[in-house]
Structure 1
Amino acid sequence: MDVSVENPGGLARKLKVQIPAERVSAAVDAKVKRVGQHAKIPGFRPGKAPIKVLYQRYGDQARQEAAGELIQSVYPEALEKAELNPAGQPQIELGEFHAGQPLEFTASFDVYPEIELKGLDSIEVEKPVTEVTDADIDKTIERIREQNKTFEATDRESQDGDQVVVDYVGRIDGEAFEGGTGNDIEVNLGEQQFLPDLERALVGRKADEQFDVDVSFPDDYGAKDLAGKTATFDVTVKTVSEPKLAEIDQAFLQQMGIEDGDIDELKVKVRESLEQEAKHAVDTKVKTEVMESLHASNPIEVPQSMVAQEIDRMRKEAMQRMPKEMQGNEEQMKALMPDEALQEQAERRVAMGLLIAEVIANKELELDQERVSKKMEDIASGYGDQAEQVKQYYQQNPQLMQGLQAMVMEEQVVDTLLEGATITEKDTELDELLNANRDNG
């Protein structure tokens, strides 16, 4: 078997293989004879047809099947002979294939980059140090009350924070347009979820008030037939309601998971939750800085075949977060998230995966099964009475378990790199820490 390698550039490789004619002929003969054992050919008893007749009837099919099987069996041998380690599946191109001739094929693929880790002993990390205060707890409880607020009708003029219910009809050049009519539409003033000109015009209004307002659609508005145009809206304000924060009563406490208790018990629960969230935010920031330092010290070229797979994975992850009517529409997702928009992030993800794998090999790390079990317990505990069912679900789902194990191994890598890192502590306000973590989440 002859094997040669071409390097078109970067990590791309072309492996050219020639299988000797004798080996090909032997494989085709075996295939033809195997078919002939059960072939029913007029004029011959089963299994008794001459080889020449079998070749006339089944030769082309046998050659194609034998070629596929030969390529599949020879490919690993050729890789070993060429001392190549492909990243992903190859693209196989079959050369001309004639009876009695050698079989030639070309396998195109990327190889893994050679990585020589650097900078592992010069990692610097700024670790946030924070404390959950009584003021943080009170602020969180107020935020929970705000999230559970209700609205009560009022006779005064509307202001930011109020909710107004409106009917409206929009017209361009005196003609109503599609999508420009709404009835009983709730608008929370100040949340900027409505057309800016229209929302501003709703401030200072009372119930049962009617008015007209000109609204300019931005040039990049989603509906192209409206982009850059000005419409006149006839608006009727039906109600104006002011916000009322949720009362801290028994029903509110039960909603927070406190069956028998008072506000003091709520504060204890909020403190525990904030401390857990703060710990997670600190761990996340430290991990991010460690990984960024590892990546910065070890810039590597990444296999584009792996990048393409990562782009596909990122789209599928995004699709799962989309409304149900958009899920499964891959063409629409490709239009919303083209390859070039995901390229940089996908390359970074692939690079980090390769660097993490190299650290694992370099430091001879092994997965800590006790840590995996502890991680599963922590995740399951967040589901209360359903904890045991959640653990069973993980144990019965190989894909979930692999994700959990990868998460733990990544934590082990971070811990290992932190052993040689320079760590400085920085006093940080809780809100600053949590907001930064939520923005990066």
Structure 2
Amino acid sequence: MNVTVEPLAPCKKLVRVEVETKSVDEAFETITKEFQRQASFPGFRPGKAPREMVLRKYESDIQDEVKRKLISQAYKKAVEEQNLEVIGQPDIEEVQFSRGQPLQFNANVETAPEFELPEYRGLLVKMEARTLTDADVDRALEALREPKAGFQKMDRAVQTGDVAVVNYTGTCEGKPITEIAPTAQGLTAKSNFWVETPSKSFLPGFGDQLIGAKAGEKRTVTVDFPADFVTPQLAGKQGVYEVEVVEVKEKVLPPVDDNLAKAYGAEDLAKLRDGVRKDLENEVSYNRKKSARDQVVRGLLDRVNFELPESAVGQETRQVVNNIVQDVARRGGSRADVERQKE
């Protein structure tokens, strides 16, 4: 096999490959026999049909299989022989292929950037002097209470930290919100909707205005939509909500005891505390090493200059756009909102 590599750009190469005639003919013979063993023709037992009959019917399929197999094997071998660090899939162009002749094809490939590693010894790295304390463990245990919280119905007014179960309808500029933003149905009306006080994930200031209200009470809540609100039609405007409080629920956190420990699969509180401490120690160690590694990488990047492969840049761009799409979708945005965010 003959292989030549021609640089096209800093991260692009043209790999020319020629597979000798003998290998091509051997591949044709092997694939033809495989087709012959599996072929079934009237009047012949499976695998006993004459070679000429198999070739007449399956010649095109045999050629396709031989080409696929030879190009795949030759390309892989060529990359290994030339020590190419290929990124992505090659663009294969057939030049010559037939029985009794060498196979010739070209592969346009993108490769990893080539550069000389600068001197890294002596790079300054700042290591955080972080000591784990009992207070850190206590805070972590407190955080474990939140996912196991329950909610108890209360016969009193809404207080800070409660959840208000509400029905609401919203308007903007005197019109139902869907008339201004047709896709914002969730902002127009909801029944039995849980609102935290203060609001953490819903509209800013919504939950705060429910503090002091009791079940059965109705209130008018106003919301100023931010200038960068996910639904552009509402950005910078004011929403007015007619809200009925259906129920008041108090969040009840479990005590830090053996029962909490068992809820997380630990034998008792002491075992849970030991496990939490170990996890925190691992986190501190990981963050310290990651910080050092990131500082070294930044230091090296400041000392080198190279072009990136187009496919790598494109993939990163698509990932950023995909993150934007998912973020907008999570916040209830429409397809039009997504397109605007892309721009």
TM-score bracket, shorter-length normalisation: 0.5 to 0.7
Counterpart-to-counterpart distance in 1, 2:190 and 2:287? 45
Deviation, 1:127, is: 3.8
Whether the 8 Å CA contact 1:86–1:109 is kept in 2: the answer is: no
Which residue matches 2:75? Answer: 75
Q: CA deviation at 1:190?
A: 1.8
* TM-aligned CA deviation for residue 199 of structure 1: 2.6
RMSD of Structure 2 on Structure 1 (CA): 4.9
Q: Distance in 2 between matches of 1:80 and 1:153?
A: 71
Deviates more, 1:7-16 or 1:136-145: 136-145
Moved more, 68-77 or 282-291: 68-77
What is the TM-score normalised by the length of structure 1?
0.53
CA distance in 2 between partners of 1:254 and 1:76 (Å): 54
Structure 1: distance between partners of 2:169 and 2:209: 14
Choose which of 208, 214, 228 in structure 2 pairs with 1:200: 208
Distance 1:7 1:163 in 2: 65
Superposed CA deviations along residues 37-56 of structure 1, whole A, max 9, x for unmatched, are: 9978999996767x7x8766
Taking a change above 3 Å as real, the CA distance of residues 276 and 128 of structure 1, as seen in their structure-2 partners, is: farther
Q: 2:293 is paired with a residue of what secondary structure?
A: helix
Mapped contact 1:152–1:244 kept (Cα < 8 A)? no
Question: Alpha-carbon deviation of 1:105?
Answer: 0.6
Measured against aligned partners, the alpha-carbon deviations of 1:168-210 in whole angstroms (never above 9, x if no partner) come to: 2223535474432222322221242221243332234344332
The alignment partner of 1:129 has SS state of coil
Please tell me the residue identity of whatever aligns with 1:16. Answer: R
Query: After superposition, what is the alpha-carbon deviation per residue over 1:38-85, rounded to whole angstroms, capped at 9, x for unaligned?
Result: 978999996767x7x87666554444433333324433554466x332
Aligned match of 1:234:
242
- Aligned ranges for residues 86-165 of structure 1 at < 5 Å? 86-87=85-86, 89-97=89-97, 102-113=102-113, 117-123=117-123, 124-133=125-134, 135-136=135-136, 139=139, 143-144=143-144, 148=149, 150-151=151-152, 153=154, 155-156=156-157, 158-165=158-165
The structural deviation recorded for 1:294 is: 3.7
Alignment check: 8 A CA contact 1:128 1:282 kept: no
Give the conservation status (yes or no) of the 8 Å contact 1:16–1:105: yes
What is the identity, as a one-letter code, of the residue corresponding to 2:170? Answer: G
State the match for 1:212 in structure 2: 220
- Is the CA contact 1:2–1:17 (under 8 Å) kept in the aligned structure 2? yes
Q: Please tell me whether the aligned partners of residues 167 and 236 of structure 1 are also in contact (alpha carbons under 8 angstroms).
A: yes
Q: Distance in 2 between matches of 1:259 and 1:38?
A: 62
**Alpha-carbon distance, 1:106 to partner:** 0.7
5 Å matches for 1:244-393? Answer: 245-247=253-255, 255=263, 266=269, 268-269=270-271, 271-299=273-301, 304=309, 307=312
SS of equivalent to 1:5: strand
SS at match of 1:90: strand
> Structure 1: 5+ residue runs without aligned partners?
261-265, 327-331, 342-441
Amino acid at match of 2:109: F
SS in structure 2 at match of 1:121: coil
Residue number in structure 2 paired with 1:396: none
Q: 1:4 to 1:231 in 2, by over 3 A?
A: same
Distance 1:190 1:74 in 2: 65
Please name the residue that 1:169 is paired with: 169
**Greater percentage in helix:** 1
Deviation sequence 1:199-229 (CA, Å, 0-9, x none): 3322343443322234344455445665565
How many equivalent pairs are there? 312
The whole-number CA distance in structure 2 between the counterparts of 1:41 and 1:85 is 47
- Do the aligned partners of 1:13 and 1:110 also contact (CA within 8 Å) in 2? yes
Shift of 1:131: 4.0
State the shift of 1:271 in Å.
4.7
Change (3 A) 1:101 1:278: closer
Indicate if the aligned counterparts of 1:246 and 1:252 stay in contact, CA closer than 8 A: yes
Secondary structure of the residue aligned to 1:281 is helix
User: Are the aligned partners of 1:15 and 1:107 in contact in 2 as well (CA < 8 Å)?
Assistant: yes
CA offset digits 1:5-64 (Å, max 9, x no partner): 221212321111234567646755776687679978999996767x7x876665544444
Q: Is the 8 A contact 1:38 1:47 kept in 2?
A: no
Classify the secondary structure of the residue corresponding to 2:202: coil
Q: Is the 8 A contact 2:126 2:292 kept in 1?
A: yes
Partner of 1:85: 84
The equivalent residue for 2:5 is 5
Provide closer, same or farther for how the CA distance between residues 289 and 48 of structure 1 changes in structure 2, counting only shifts above 3 A. closer
TM-score, normalising length from structure 2?
0.65
SS at match of 1:67: helix
Q: 1:228 to 1:22 in 2, by over 3 A?
A: same
- In 1, Cα distance between the equivalents of 2:13 and 2:216? 74
Q: Deviations over 1:277-326 (max 9, x none)?
A: 331132112211332244234447587498489869x89xx9xxx9xxx9
Question: Residues 47, 154 of structure 1: CA spacing in aligned structure 2 closer, same or farther, 3 A cutoff?
Answer: closer
Q: Which stretch shows the higher mean deviation, 161-170 or 223-232?
A: 223-232
1:139 is displaced (CA, Å) by: 4.8
Question: CA, structure 1 residues 272+99, in 2 after alignment: closer, same or farther (shift >3 Å)?
Answer: closer
Amino acid at match of 1:237: V
